[in-house]
Structure 1
Amino acid sequence: MESESTTITTSETFNYPNADVIIRSSAPNKVDFRVHKFILSLSSSFFETMFTLPDASQKAPKTNLPVVDVSEPANTIDLLLRTIYPSIPEPIFDTLNTLRPVLGAALKFKMQAAVVVLRRVLLKPAFLKVNPMKVYALAASYDFEDEAKVASQYTLNLELSTQPLMEDMKTMSAYYYHRLMMMHRRRREAARTLIQTFPPLTPVKSRDGQRPPPPKCTCWDFWNSWKARAEMELIHKPTSNVIFTHDFCYQNSRPDSCSRYNCPNLKILDNLKNSIDAIVFTI
């Protein structure tokens, strides 16, 4: 029985007149969700089993409906029910902090269809772009192998050693974190090998092919300087997104004898970038 001081409100959205069960969220702000056993049973093997057992639950005053107390807060239950109810639009998740408890509840109540929907939300482009490490940690925490592989690719733009600690990493196993570190290392070494073994720059010939190349063309100096800086950058972020940017490439000024925009040797950089981007490693 609830104490007299306990305030229980009713959900505005889930307040069906023909409801036959109440899902009551946790304290301190308890909310009653007046819903249907049929929909819960179809969506959840947990509730399907529960409703086949003898009804020993308390009854709500006035309605005399059975009450199922759950440990989740009202916001989580509201979003979870919106995921399974056919007459209600699917919820919109703006943050991973909102998604995580709903996903955890869906797994707890064995709502397989809801889990499928929420796993797709986990790979929302905005989440992957803004916080790929958090997406990876969540996927790893729930042993979502496919989602973890996708998120791992987005972490290549991060320097793992400088990433701040986050609560989501508490439930991520060392196994998944080690796999991520190994993937970064393998891709870094593969990219550095490509840079070291790629065909070197050659002196530029004149357009008509008749005149000899400039005697002091410094393409070699440009290449060697870029290569050294690129290899250092790859130690931090094993991706091509930084080392082929205009600013990074031209930290060394190009010589007057070799036009920075028309030099055929720049095609080598384009080809090298394509080769690095084609490296595929997953956790």
Structure 2
Amino acid sequence: MSDAEEPTATAIAPFDNPDGDIILRSTTDRVDFHTFKFILSLMSPVIKDMFTLPQNGLKSGESSVPIIPVAESSATLESLLIFYYPAATPKAFSSFSHAVAVMKAAKKYDMQVVLNRTVDLIIAQFLPDRVLELYALFCQLGWQDYAQIAATQALEIKDLGRPSHVFNGMRNITAFDYHRLLAYHQECGVAAQDVGKSPFSGNHIFELVCDTCACFTKNLSWFNEYLDKSGKELLMRPCESTLWESASYIHATIKAFGDTSCYDCKYKLVEGIGAFRALYIARVKEAVAKVKLADADQ
């Protein structure tokens, strides 16, 4: 049986329009996408050039519409087209591998608009859980800005650099790109830790709690201990979440409450330390934002 005689299926709407003047056929699972040259020409200069090539006599038996065979699966092809197609709504990717296949197809066919939309959806859907794989992928494709986004998200990983099963993308990354990620994580950790050593730390806590009472100056062990422990935590995991989730914050609050003799300050304590932590977090975010992932060309 020849290729033209092998059974095919028709894609679901909107790619089943009998008025279409071109068919894209997935050779992987033999599904026909009935579409329009005008739309495809706007989507992809690569596919537009395909229209000028001989079609090897492939025609739709019912309407004699030209057929262009493509290597992508029907699932990939559907997602690829739907990102640009009029009145079509993109759906979430069924899996990470599906998302990567669509992104690579968009790059292959030079569909810049589709590529941008695809990457945005991939980041929204997979970044929190597949951050290291996305970093490896973006480095592989040479996309520095997207690699920076993934690297920043990777700051949520404690002790980055230890062997871990979560970095499934290791097989797709160079040693240099992995080193860039580790160096960025370390630099951010140092910058975050240094915030607790800056002059702002010891001054604001008293003003935020009570500006008329000096009882807090009698015993600063709880405060210094909090800055020391939180700084070490930030070195290993330099992100906002570290300070929100830190057990050292609870311990410091309890100890400060017990060490405070002033009745008024006891009731201002939680609010005051909370205000300091908010300021602390803001300073950490500012410090980390100044650190950038080294450029791949450096």
Same fold (TM over 0.5): yes
- With normalisation by structure 1, the TM-score equals 0.81
Judged with a 3 Å threshold, the aligned counterparts in structure 2 of structure 1 residues 208 and 63 are, in CA distance, closer, same or farther, namely closer
Question: More displaced, 84-93 or 105-114?
Answer: 84-93
Structure 1 residue 254, shift from structure 2 partner: 1.1
Letter of the structure 2 residue corresponding to residue 24 of structure 1: R
Give structure 1 stretches of 5+ with no counterpart. none
What residue number does 2:279 align with? 271
What residue number does 1:67 align with? 67
Structure 1 residue 199, shift from structure 2 partner: 5.1
Report the Cα distance in structure 1 between the residues aligned to 2:201 and 2:102, rounded to whole angstroms. 54
Letter of the structure 1 residue corresponding to residue 104 of structure 2: G
Q: Is the 8 A contact 1:24 1:32 kept in 2?
A: yes
Judged with a 3 Å threshold, the aligned counterparts in structure 2 of structure 1 residues 201 and 3 are, in CA distance, closer, same or farther, namely same
What residue number does 1:195 align with? 196
Structure 1 residue 50, shift from structure 2 partner: 1.4
Structure 1 residue 128, shift from structure 2 partner: 3.3
Structure with a larger share of its residues in helix: 2
List structure 1 runs of 4+ shifted beyond 6 angstroms: 202-208
Q: Is the 8 A contact 1:204 1:213 kept in 2?
A: no
Structure 1 residue 188, shift from structure 2 partner: 0.8
Q: Is the 8 A contact 1:25 1:71 kept in 2?
A: yes
Report the Cα distance in structure 1 between the residues aligned to 2:187 and 2:179, rounded to whole angstroms. 12
Q: Is the 8 A contact 1:57 1:68 kept in 2?
A: no
Give structure 2 stretches of 5+ with no counterpart. 294-298
What residue number does 1:262 align with? 268
Report the Cα distance in structure 2 between the residues aligned to 1:96 and 1:261, rounded to whole angstroms. 50
What residue number does 1:33 align with? 33
Letter of the structure 1 residue corresponding to residue 180 of structure 2: R
Give the percent of matched residue pairs that are identical in Structure 1 and Structure 2.
23
Task: Give the 5 Å matches for 1:81-230.
Answer: 81-93=81-93, 95-124=95-124, 126-159=125-158, 160-162=160-162, 163-198=164-199, 201=202, 213=215, 217-218=218-219, 220-230=220-230
Structure 1 residue 64, shift from structure 2 partner: 3.1
Report the Cα distance in structure 1 between the residues aligned to 2:109 and 2:225, rounded to whole angstroms. 58
Question: More displaced, 39-48 or 81-90?
Answer: 81-90
Report the Cα distance in structure 2 between the residues aligned to 1:277 and 1:208, rounded to whole angstroms. 27
Structure 1 residue 127, shift from structure 2 partner: 3.3
Q: How many residues align?
A: 277
Report the Cα distance in structure 2 between the residues aligned to 1:168 and 1:181, rounded to whole angstroms. 15
Report the Cα distance in structure 1 between the residues aligned to 2:98 and 2:115, rounded to whole angstroms. 15
Q: For the aligned residues, what is the CA RMSD?
A: 3.3
